[in-house]
């Protein structure tokens, strides 16, 4: 009989311990989820505040910010031109004359008065000759 009471005590203790651990785990998970939700809400509020500050910022900026932005656009345009030209050259060297012609055409269409325009036109003619040979 004493053995049976010890067994039931151990089973009851294990059951209540499992219930207690489950309740603590559920509370921990709930607290973690609530913390994550609050962090997302704070991040959303910060983004909204930055957006509103950014919308209000152009009115407070000086009237002539164009020279820096024009230089950045010009530098970006030159980089884009160089990238298009080099990729057209490489595709021509790789034996893809149709792709090279398309890339040269894109370069000439976007930047007709570019420094690469003469080289691009010569490249188009060379690729057309390769295309006709094939």
Q: Sorting pLDDT into bands at 50, 70 and 90, what band is 21?
A: very high
Q: Are residues 95 and 43 in the same domain?
A: no
Is residue 106 within 8 Å of 73, Cβ to Cβ? Answer: no
- 96 and 50 housed in the same domain: no
Asked whether residue 69 is domain-assigned, the answer is: no
Structure confidence at residue 67 (pLDDT)? 55
Question: How many other CB atoms are found less than 10 A from the CB of residue 7?
Answer: 10
| Percentage of the chain lying above the pLDDT 90 cut | 25
Q: Residue 72: is its pLDDT beyond 70?
A: no
Tokens for 41, please give them: 């809400």
Give the 3-state secondary structure percentages of the chain, helix then strand then coil, rounded to 5: 90, 0, 10
For the cut 80, the answer to whether the pLDDT of residue 30 exceeds it is yes
* Sign, Cα dihedral of 114, 116, 117, 120: negative
> In which domain, by residue range, is 1 found?
1-58
Within a domain: 72: no
For residue 122, how far is the Cα from the chain centroid? 37
Query: What pLDDT score does 42 carry?
Result: 92
């Amino acid at each position: 009989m004493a053995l049976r009471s010890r067994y039931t005590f151990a089973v009851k203790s294990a059951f209540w311990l499992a219930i207690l651990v489950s309740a603590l785990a559920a509370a921990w998970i709930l607290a973690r989820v609530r913390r994550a939700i609050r962090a997302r809400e704070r991040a959303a509020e910060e983004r909204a505040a930055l957006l509103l500050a950014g919308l209000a910022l152009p009115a407070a900026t000086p009237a002539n910010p164009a020279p820096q932005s024009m230089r950045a656009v010009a530098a970006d345009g030159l980089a884009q031109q160089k990238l298009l030209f080099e990729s057209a050259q490489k595709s021509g060297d790789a034996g893809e004359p149709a792709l090279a012609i398309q890339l040269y055409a894109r370069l000439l269409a976007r930047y007709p008065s570019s420094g690469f325009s003469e080289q691009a036109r010569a490249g188009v003619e060379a690729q057309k000759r390769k295309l006709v040979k094939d």
